Structure 1
Amino acid sequence: MVRYAEPGRVEWVESGGGPLVAVPETVLPFWTGADGEETDSDYDRACEVDGHVGLLPVGDSTALVLGDEPAATAYLPDHGTFVRWCAADSEDEVLAGVPDALGTAEWEPEVSWRVPGPVLLFDAAWPGTASDRAGRARVGLRSGRYAVRAATVRPGPETWLSLVHLRRLADR
């Protein structure tokens, strides 16, 4: 796989060209990736997500699909945000643009995502049980409901990012 993001301050996850997926650790063995029947694999379902984010059932939980661009992605816990590096000259440019971008983004409608705890972010083509071979990042989410919203932003003339912001909701 070609690496677009250079190793730096945060852990970047990349795909071979398709979407990334955040799968709860508790249901990781149920994510089959591109393995499976001809047109109904988990990877095929992830590729059918229209837009920046989508939710797919996995086992007794739900995975978050980061669609649209197959961009290098990192989770910034201080901002509760997946940052997708679409265009920038350096990691420093990407990270420097995030705070202002979060405040000025024109967000798409939110979706509600319930997670049982930490999730793993990886290339949707890989089965969950083999995702460690593809490059993945653990995101230490607490159990509960999250509002998920996405936006594409241009914090600089040569910097283009996609943001997927998570906000913990009160349990009902």
Structure 2
Amino acid sequence: MGGPLIVVPVSALAVWRGCSESGVMAGDATAPDDYDRACAVDGLAGVITVGENGAQALVLADEPATSCYLPERRAFLRWLAADSEAGLRAAAEAVLAAPATEWEECGAWVSDGPAVLMDSAEAGSELGIEYPGGGMPAQASVPLPVGRWRVRATHTKVDEENWVGLVQLVPTES
């Protein structure tokens, strides 16, 4: 379905249903499914509930850009434009270090530990199941500690070759 990407706690993967025929986008229902709710996030990032036990997921909204997690910076790096991975990472470090970076505040997220970065259209319970035509759903582990985070994001053009997207988790007091 093409994103947005979402970060779902490992503890809640089984209840993330993704895109379903009972949803608005893929079906003819009037009630949104999980994928519909992820797509409804405005701005560069946002938090939505997962299941009925109070778990939360972080939506990396906008486009399904190639993304990775930088644990030492507690930031998701999104490849918007770059000639190389090295150039992209250097640009990201420059943006993270610059006090003048303009950040969009994207709410608060409570995490209960490790999570998985994935396409929000996928069901968490089907991540390990091969597609009928071959291939596996893309996913990446996110070694996240338990915590409360302020979520901030930016899309910044660093120079003519490098344009980075960042979604950073800033620890907050509990």
Same fold flag (TM > 0.5): yes
Task: Kindly report which structure 2 residues correspond to 1:23-34, keeping only aligned pairs within 5 A, or say none.
Answer: 23-34=8-19
CA distance in 2, matches of 1:93, 1:21: 25
Matched, 1:122 2:114: no
Partner of 2:146: 143
Alignment TM-score, normalising by the size of structure 1: 0.86
Counterpart code for 2:110: R
| Equivalent-residue separation in structure 1 for 2:157 and 2:127 (angstroms) | 31
Q: Work out whether residues 101 and 154 of structure 1, in 8 Å CA contact, stay in contact via their aligned partners in 2.
A: no
Cα offset for 1:109?
1.8
Runs ≥4 in structure 1, deviation > 3 angstroms? none
Matched, 1:54 2:46: yes
Matches within 5 A, 1:87-126: 87-104=81-98, 105-126=101-122
**Over alpha carbons, which structure has the higher Rg?**
2
CA contact 2:2–2:121 (8 Å) conserved in 1: no
Q: Deviations over 1:45-92 (max 9, x none)?
A: 111111110111102200000011220000011111100001111111
* TM-score, structure 2 as length reference: 0.85
Q: Structure 2: 5+ residue runs without aligned partners?
A: 25-31, 129-135
Amino acid of the residue matched to residue 108 of structure 1? E
1:84 aligns with 2:78: yes
The match for 1:10 is none
- More displaced 10-residue stretch of structure 1: 120-129 or 97-106: 97-106
1:153 to 151, 156, 168: 156
* CA–CA separation in structure 2 for the residues paired with 1:91 and 1:136: 19
Shift in Å, 1:29: 0.7
Q: Which whole-Å deviations, capped at 9, do the CAs of 1:13-54 have from their partners, x for residues lacking one?
A: xxx522000001111111001025232111111111111101
- Deviation of 1:99 after TM superposition, in Å, equals 1.4
Cα distance, 1:164 vs. partner? Answer: 0.3
Aligned positions, number: 156
Q: Distance in 1 between matches of 2:157 and 2:63?
A: 15
Partner SS, residue 85 of structure 1: strand
Q: Percent identity?
A: 42
Name the counterpart of 1:37: 22
Going from structure 1 to structure 2, the CA distance change for 1:142 and 1:36 (only over 3 Å counts) comes to farther
Check conservation: 1:147, 1:167, Cα contact below 8 A.
Answer: yes
Specify the code of the residue in structure 1 equivalent to 2:102: E
Distance of 1:118 and 1:38 partners within structure 2: 28
